[in-house]
Structure 1
Amino acid sequence: MLNRRNFLQQVPPLAGLLLGVLPGLKASNLATKPILLRSSWQTANIGDIGHTPGVLTLLEKYLPGVEVRLWPVNVGDGVEAMLRKRFPKVPILQSPDEVARAFTECGFLLHGSGPQLVARKDLERWVQETGKPYGIYGITFPGVYGFPEERSKFNPVDIGLLSKARFAYFRDSVSLAFAKKNGVNCPIMEFCPDGAFAVDVRNDAAADAFLREHNLEPGKFLCAIPQYRFSPWWELPQKKQAPNDAKRAYNDKMKEQDNAPIREAIIQVVRQTPLKVLLVPENETQVRIGKEMLYDPLPEDVKKNVVWRDHYWLTDEAVSTYIRSAGLFGLEMHSPIMCIAQGVPAIVCRFEEQTSKGAMWRDVGLGDWLFDMDTPGDVAKIVPTVLAMAKDPKAAKAKVEEARKYITQRQRETMAIVKKNLAA
């Protein structure tokens, strides 16, 4: 009979034998339950798509051997295939039964980066059904896209959910201050770079084919992005949204003010440098907006050196294209984020209707590349700053590298907290 002493003596070699027979089974798997990642909010925006592969990359890097299960809102339109190609070992939950099993087997729920506390109802369900811990990783708060009277509104439930989290990381300092001011009292409340800063999905073949088709050479073009004050989601049939007359009228009122400086920067880049310009969309509505606001009004001498991308794309092709560019500027946030992640310079132009997320450019040390379209002094600096980026790529990339050092530091520190809470 095997007594207690003999049994204990046999445990190490038995465990070693088990790990040898099952090489995919790591020691951390024996001690840590799987993580349930709630993310993948929509597919009509390459930035919202990018949150998920970014956070998955961080978990893969800093928590090796810990199983992660993705609970998505939407991975249609080719997104699922893109994620499975990059993360073949990550289960993507498709059915209520798979979600229910994950609630039983996973020990921690991680709310991924996003424009707000997107998964409020899912967090409530997790708390009610499991009582297990959860954390928030890189959100804007309250994250309301609206007119001034709407932007400070939030669901009171959010305060309690954020306060009861093991950690609440905010992707911009304005959100962090707003949360504290409005009563969020979480043990760990800090700034955390948006998860998309870690995105590394690629589709080099698609990017190369497009560049060849349009005579764009790597390193010899800039990317530019248009935008309205409010994305006209009602134009996309899959969104099933009725037109918002007030927002549509405000878009019409502000669209020339906002896009004219981007258009002027394009003109000066083409006329003063050997670079071409590629007009790209971050969300699907910007394909049309790019033609209307940036391409069609260009002078003919400029237009011949500008390419309008006439169809939407996925995050992996976008990243591969940005890597081949000399930089990016425009009226969006996540394409610049994905550029910086790859060491590519990127300038952000923003307005209040986009929430406080733009403040993260200051938070990571890129405040000189952040411009408010309602501040005349900022607007006046856009063209000179874009030209400086185009004419002095060495200085621009050095600036990017300084920001990346800080971003990497915060990613490492915040993932250490995630790991600590899993162990607890």
Structure 2
Amino acid sequence: MQNRRTFIQKIPALFSLLTSIRAIAGEGRAQKTIILRSSWQTVNIGDIAHTPGVLTLLEQNFPDAEIRLWPTDVGDGVEEMLMRRFPKLIILKTHEQKTAAINEADFFLHGSGPSLTGRKELKLWAESSGKPYGIYGITFPGIYGFADDREKYDLGDIELITNARFAYFRDSVSLQFAKDKGAKCPVMEFCPDGAFSVDVKDDRSAIGFLRKHQLEDGKFLCVIPQFRFSPWWEIPAKKLPVNEVKNAYNTKMKEHDNAPIRNAIIAVARQTDLKVLIVPENETQVHIGREMLYDPLPEDVKAKVVWRDHYWLTDEAVSTYARSAGLFGLEMHSPIMCIALGIPAIVCRFEEQTSKGFMWKDIGLDDWLFDMDTPGDVAGITPAVLKMAKNPKLAKSKAAKALKLVRQRQQKTMDVLKKTLYGTG
């Protein structure tokens, strides 16, 4: 009885000690500030998705850290979308804010992207602060051009990669390329694109659109068209001259690339009870979808196909994909968002899109990766789409397996960042 009374008397002191220990640990972590360099453009829901994806990973693993986003562009409703999901996020807008962030932050994280897109800011951080930085889930060199353009990368990138605490590449081809060019970062590995963790949603807009067009949950597939080169010159806000070489090549290849996708739409419409929704990943694909996929369809097929006639943001896309039976087409990041939701997705790629498509192979989805310049691959697109459509349970199981691998890799990368910031894994 005496021992019990003594123990009870000591409880307040023990509780106070435990609270102090927690406070000390929490205080150390609360001091950390991370700059995330991301948000490359707003006319592509994939380029938008990088940011909320990485922000979600940081939120889950560093709940006490202050995150400051250094964006290229968060206009067109993107800033509002991000702040709804991440109300504590600080977005750096002015020169003064960016300068202060360099002085105050503990770590600079170059977010997922098509290349080392933020090299200028990364170099500024490295040279002016001397503090650590990391590169998270990029394609390298990420040249969106013809095959012989690949060697035209910035030579300074190798030095930036080498001096990083870690450099993660979103496809194994990029990782090998960096190694072959002499990059020797202490931690240099494969890690899937940060967009795999995107969880922004706009259920209201998605549900409204689907109801308007009589698309029922789980009863439609999404499909995306594309040209060899996105015709950014068509977007007035970009103020770009027409690239005559790329425009001519688009014209030459557009039927070659989109006809197999159109054939798969026809097969789905005629051989299954599913409908098809044609959607854009970037703003230029709205008209491409109509020109290359919808307008040439036979009339009986058109009755089961919906063409989305306007661009959207990542949150509405995610809410739409979550209600679909799957996705296929000539893009990369909408499939990523689908797999993140456990939704099956087939990727069709070509060399001009860089090596990012090989990410599908790296996460075990070889059977859902097709090269548009390989006749055998092209012939396999429609059978693969039909198999996905007719065997939803099997397809979802395959997507879940890939997602599990992605989550394991992402957690390992976050553990490396924890060790860098706090000295613990």
Once the two structures are superposed, residues 240-265 of structure 1 have per-residue CA deviations (whole angstroms, 9 ceiling, x without a partner) of 11100000000000000000000000
> 3-state DSSP class of the match of 1:371?
strand
Q: Are 1:32 and 1:423, in contact at CA under 8 Å, matched by a contact in 2?
A: no
Task: Give the unaligned 5+ runs of structure 1.
Answer: 1-9
Q: Are 1:29 and 1:65, in contact at CA under 8 Å, matched by a contact in 2?
A: no
Once the two structures are superposed, residues 15-40 of structure 1 have per-residue CA deviations (whole angstroms, 9 ceiling, x without a partner) of 958999xxxx9805556420110000
Whole-angstrom distance in 2 between the partners of 1:139 and 1:30? 27
> 3-state DSSP class of the match of 1:222?
strand
Aligned to 2:415: 416
Aligned to 1:4: none
Whole-angstrom distance in 2 between the partners of 1:26 and 1:287? 51
Q: Residue type matched to 1:38 in 2?
A: R
Whole-angstrom distance in 2 between the partners of 1:161 and 1:62? 25
Assess, with a 3 A threshold, how the Cα gap between structure 1 residues 35 and 258 changes in structure 2: closer, same or farther.
Answer: same
Aligned to 1:320: 319
> 3-state DSSP class of the match of 1:149?
helix
Mapping of 1:88-99 within 5 angstroms?
88-99=87-98
Assess, with a 3 A threshold, how the Cα gap between structure 1 residues 387 and 422 changes in structure 2: closer, same or farther.
Answer: same
Once the two structures are superposed, residues 62-83 of structure 1 have per-residue CA deviations (whole angstroms, 9 ceiling, x without a partner) of 2221221111110000000000
Whole-angstrom distance in 2 between the partners of 1:271 and 1:296? 17
Whole-angstrom distance in 2 between the partners of 1:57 and 1:198? 6
Q: Residue type matched to 1:362 in 2?
A: K
Whole-angstrom distance in 1 between the partners of 2:273 and 2:122? 52
Mapping of 1:25-424 within 5 angstroms?
27=26, 29-30=28-29, 32-424=31-423
Q: Are 1:37 and 1:69, in contact at CA under 8 Å, matched by a contact in 2?
A: yes
Q: Are 1:266 and 1:277, in contact at CA under 8 Å, matched by a contact in 2?
A: yes
Whole-angstrom distance in 2 between the partners of 1:244 and 1:342? 37
Assess, with a 3 A threshold, how the Cα gap between structure 1 residues 89 and 31 changes in structure 2: closer, same or farther.
Answer: closer
Whole-angstrom distance in 2 between the partners of 1:183 and 1:84? 40
Task: Give the unaligned 5+ runs of structure 2.
Answer: 1-12
Q: Residue type matched to 2:290 in 1?
A: K
> 3-state DSSP class of the match of 2:37?
strand
Whole-angstrom distance in 2 between the partners of 1:182 and 1:79? 36
> Per-residue deviation at 1:13?
5.5
Assess, with a 3 A threshold, how the Cα gap between structure 1 residues 93 and 391 changes in structure 2: closer, same or farther.
Answer: same
Q: What RMSD over aligned residues (CA atoms) do the two structures have, in Å?
A: 1.7
> Per-residue deviation at 1:100?
1.1
Whole-angstrom distance in 1 between the partners of 2:420 and 2:22? 25
Once the two structures are superposed, residues 255-296 of structure 1 have per-residue CA deviations (whole angstroms, 9 ceiling, x without a partner) of 000000000000000000000000000000000000000000
Q: Residue type matched to 1:173 in 2?
A: S
> 3-state DSSP class of the match of 1:229?
coil
Once the two structures are superposed, residues 314-340 of structure 1 have per-residue CA deviations (whole angstroms, 9 ceiling, x without a partner) of 000000000000000000000000000
Q: TM-score under structure 1 normalisation?
A: 0.94
> Per-residue deviation at 1:360?
0.3
> 3-state DSSP class of the match of 2:90?
coil
Whole-angstrom distance in 1 between the partners of 2:21 and 2:358? 50
Once the two structures are superposed, residues 379-420 of structure 1 have per-residue CA deviations (whole angstroms, 9 ceiling, x without a partner) of 000000000000000000010111011111001101100111
> 3-state DSSP class of the match of 1:324?
coil
What is the percent sequence identity of the aligned residues? 67
Whole-angstrom distance in 1 between the partners of 2:353 and 2:28? 41
> Per-residue deviation at 1:14?
10
Q: How many residues align?
A: 410
Q: Residue type matched to 1:136 in 2?
A: I
Q: Stretches of 4+ moved more than 6 A in 1? A: 17-20
Q: TM-score under structure 2 normalisation?
A: 0.94
Aligned to 2:3: none
Whole-angstrom distance in 2 between the partners of 1:32 and 1:351? 45
Assess, with a 3 A threshold, how the Cα gap between structure 1 residues 167 and 30 changes in structure 2: closer, same or farther.
Answer: closer
Q: Are 2:140 and 2:177, in contact at CA under 8 Å, matched by a contact in 1?
A: yes
Aligned to 1:5: none
Q: Are 2:29 and 2:65, in contact at CA under 8 Å, matched by a contact in 1?
A: no
